[in-house]
Amino acid sequence: MTTFKDRATKATTATDAPAGKFTLAQVLEILAGGRLPVRFTAYDGSTAGPPGAPFGLDLLTPRGTTYLATSRGDLGLARAYISGDLDLHGVHPGDPYELLKALADSLEFTRPPARTMLDIVRSIGVRQLRPIAPPPEEAGPRWHRVAGGLRHSKTRDAEAIHHHYDVSNRFYEWVLGPSMTYTCACYPRGDVSLDDAQENKYRLVFEKLHLAAGDRLLDVGCGWGGMVRYAARRGVRATGVTLSSEQAAWAQRSIAAEGLNDLAEVRFGDYRDITETGFDAVSSIGLLEHIGVRNYAAYFRFLQSRLRPGGLLLNHCITRPENRTEPSTRGFIDRYVFPDGELTGSGRIISEAQDAGWEVLHEENLRHHYALTLRDWGANLVEHWDEAVAEVGLATAKVWGLYMAGSRLGFESNGIQLHQVLLARPDERSGGGGHPLRPWWTP
């Protein structure tokens, strides 16, 4: 890795500047400890970083400086990029993975001495350090959202789902591909196509739930109805529910087009409004992230009440790799992707399920599969970039490219995980619930 001291470059360094006055490039070099892995250029004419670096950042406006200087963590970078005040070089905006990886691998900000920090503030200028309005694509901070109801109330959950999922069905078709499945796929091999991997994921869930023709399945947070249709094609009576009106409409059309109306149904509404009981199985694929940790007990109790004794629940969700961190998302993800989303460790999830009376039969981590899924979604967005921009606008398309590339890095580095937990509602009459003694599905 090229360092501050041994880099041979014409870019100005902090030592070349007049005392107490730094260029923007010098400010970045100081904060990065002289270890900038990408080329940086700024509107004041200054540059930093290796001249031959394959990736670069171009700060275009003073507004971009304000976003970077007044926002914590990744939020400032996202604001400057999404607003068009920061350009990325060497990567496609639909998949900036390689640039983000270079930054994640090598860039580590340090806090300089107080005197230097004061010089940095003077160099940037007080005017640039006054917070300004974020890009219009950004959701407000959590305390602003109280006007829409308490966190994870039905009304506020509906608004959060609308923010993310009601972007455009056509946009999702381009990104997700024909399966229209917006959850982690399961790759039997690394060279399997995205569609085959998603089909394999539904097969895995179907088999884990021990479903057979004539059974009844409830799929909560069903998305565009992929699991519902998969089960119905195999003779299972499947009911799905989603808080996204766009998803429900798309799913209902697809069910009709496949001639599955007698077996499959997708409803627009809250899973908590499901009144039917006696289901043989429940699938929850990508819903728990939106529930809120304090609501886990109620969530698990409700789903248990919808099942017959001995029935099975497959819970599939993104988790943290540990159980100590505060269970919430912040920064870019909370403001642009999943408002009010909350992640915790698989241990916390399993504990809540057990305390609610479930028996845990099996659990596994599919984080590597999610990294591959995001790789393929990013490739789809790159392939359909022009159409996507025309459909949802440049800023929203950039949000998605940034989000998917960053999430891919998170799964690869074990910053986040994906866990499937298979649970059974105890059946006192049959003891073990009547299930085989060993796992009955093909991995």
Q: What is the pLDDT of residues 201-250, one digit of tens each?
A: 999 999 999 999 999 999 999 999 999 999 999 999 999 999 999 999 99
Q: Confidence band (pLDDT; 50, 70, 90) for 410?
A: very high
Least confident of 7-11, 61-65, 417-421: 7-11
Secondary element (H or E) of residue 394: helix 394-412
Token digits for 161? 């789902």
**Residues forming beta bridges with residue 417, ordered by sequence position:** 319
Structure tokens at 350: 């399993």
Q: What is the pLDDT of residue 139?
A: 85
CATH assignment of 154-424, among 3.40.50.150, 1.10.3720.10, 3.40.50.300, 3.10.20.30: 3.40.50.150
Q: In this predicted model, what pLDDT tens digit does every residue of 246-256 receive, in sequence order?
A: 999 999 999 99
- Check pLDDT > 50 for residue 3: no
Mean pLDDT confidence for 74-101: 97
Q: What pLDDT does residue 157 have?
A: 52
Q: What angle do CA 31, 35, 41 make, to 5 degrees?
A: 75
For the chain, which residues make up each domain, given as ranges? 14-129, 154-424
**Could you tell me the strand order of the sheet in which 216-220 lies?**
264-268, 237-242, 216-220, 279-285, 307-319, 417-424, 359-365
Alpha-carbon span 435 to 437, nearest angstrom: 6
pTM for this prediction:
0.89
| Percent of the chain whose predicted confidence (pLDDT) is above 70 | 88
Distance separating alpha carbons of residues 93 and 397, to the nearest angstrom = 8
pLDDT at position 267 is: 98
Q: How distant, in Å, are the alpha carbons of 100, 234, 349, 416 from that of 420?
A: 28, 22, 11, 14
Q: How far apart are CA 300 and CA 275, in angstroms?
A: 15
